[in-house]
Amino acid sequence: MNPCFYWIGRPVSFRPGETIAAALLRAGIADLGPEGGAVRGRVFCGIGACQACVVAIAGEGPVEACLTPARSGMRLAPQPGLGLHHD
């Protein structure tokens, strides 16, 4: 059984070495919540350049989901107010 983290309380399993973004997308979670107040957070560039995928790890703060390896037991939530505006 794969380890899991929690996205707004929902368990999301991941494979060892997988990023947060990869695990969320594989679980069918593409909407990462409000970003910049106008557009929705999401995985956009996938290489750490756009900041559209920034999420908050409880007790740690904001990270880029596309660059950050998933760890067992992390509690993640949307991180509003960061990132570039794009449509």
The residue whose two tokens read 């399993």 is: 13
Cβ atoms 38, 85 nearer than 8 A: yes
In the complex, least distance from residue 16 CB atom to ligand FES, rounded to whole angstroms: 20
- Give the distance, in angstroms, between the CA of residue 16 and the centroid of all CA atoms in the same chain: 16
For ligand FES, the closer CB: 51 or 79: 51
Cβ atoms 43, 6 nearer than 8 A: no
In the complex, least distance from residue 67 CB atom to ligand FES, rounded to whole angstroms: 6
# chain residues binding ligand FES, by CB under 6 A: 12
Site for ligand FES in 12-71 (CB under 6 A): 43-46, 48-53, 64, 66
The residue whose two tokens read 């449509």 is: 87
**How far apart are alpha carbons 81 and 37 in whole angstroms?**
6
In the complex, least distance from residue 1 CB atom to ligand FES, rounded to whole angstroms: 28
Residues in contact with ligand FES by the rule CB under 6 A: 43-46, 48-53, 64, 66
